[in-house]
Structure 1
């Protein structure tokens, strides 16, 4: 009997943490569709997002405009779109400027500063993917997975396994696993 109760509790927490649409009465006419990272090399970024984290490539195209002989006006870019669990929202774009090549940021701080986004990725399989994540060339581990408890607005806490990395392009990525009902959902 104890095993059944534990299984029901685990199932309840797992389903409570799953993404759910906002009720129709609370919907607004805005969705955050995609975050696009400007990257040095889209192909070199795929080992983290596609291979380690398991995101699915849904678009990978080279986009050209202008005449390649007109080097002043010719533009060539590679855009890769990856999805987690939804084709419409939460998509990650990797945009590589191939011609003309864009300059890199000179300043790279040890902590996030204003203007630095932090993208939070929830990975229910954090323990399984972590070895793949840390094996990505050029990736910097800021903090390995550790249990953090955030205050809940209604009282109590939200338990999360949290890790922080900088991807090979310098983007701050928090990879976490929610161990509790997420913010906005009562226990």
Structure 2
């Protein structure tokens, strides 16, 4: 079997609040929710003995495209006071395919997300060479992770 990217885990201030955001904005469902103690070996964060909580959320697939939400319970980790309003080098850009980009941005706004770009129409040439009309928008989640949300409107032959 070839390697696959199955999950991205994000460090969050409050795993429960973050999980509610992802459920409400993107319709993700809880796949796993567990406390665990760090071994001090594999993860390049925290130290041996730190108590954490990991919530894993999924969309439609049980293997790929999941989001992990990792909260330090004891000791609490310092989180930045100011959340980013610009994507920094090394920061992920999450791209979401949506059936309704405008509704996704409104759900994010209602929960306090900073909106970078309101829904707008745009066109792209896909990997197959066909032009696609899209509606796109972008915003940050409550912990400063950036999301580009795109809705396919039409594929040109």
The answer to whether structure 1 residue 44 and structure 2 residue 17 are counterparts is yes
What is the Cα deviation at residue 109 of structure 1?
A: 4.7
In proportion to residue count, which structure has more helix? 1
Gapped regions of structure 1 (runs ≥ 5)? 1-27, 67-71
Partner of 1:83: 58
Give distance in 1, aligned partners of 2:55 and 2:87. 25
Q: Where has structure 1 moved over 6 Å in runs of 4 or more? A: none
The answer to whether structure 1 residue 92 and structure 2 residue 67 are counterparts is yes
Structure possessing the higher radius of gyration over alpha carbons: 1
Q: Residues 51-85 of structure 1: CA distance to partner in whole angstroms, max 9, x if unpaired? A: 2321111111111358xxxxx85321111111111
Gapped regions of structure 2 (runs ≥ 5)? 40-46
Give distance in 2, aligned partners of 1:170 and 1:90. 19
Partner of 1:148: 122
Aligned residues of 1:36 and 1:93 also touching (Cα < 8 A): yes
What is the Cα deviation at residue 94 of structure 1?
A: 0.7
Q: Residues 70-113 of structure 1: CA distance to partner in whole angstroms, max 9, x if unpaired? A: xx853211111111110001111111111222233578553212
**Mapping 1:1-187, distance limit 5 Å:** 29-64=2-37, 73-105=48-80, 109-137=84-112, 139-153=113-127, 155-181=129-155, 187=157
What is the Cα deviation at residue 130 of structure 1?
A: 3.5
Q: CA 1:153–1:75 in structure 2 vs 1: closer, same or farther (change >3 Å)? A: closer
Q: Indicate the RMSD between aligned Cα atoms, in angstroms.
A: 2.5
TM-score, with length taken from structure 1: 0.70
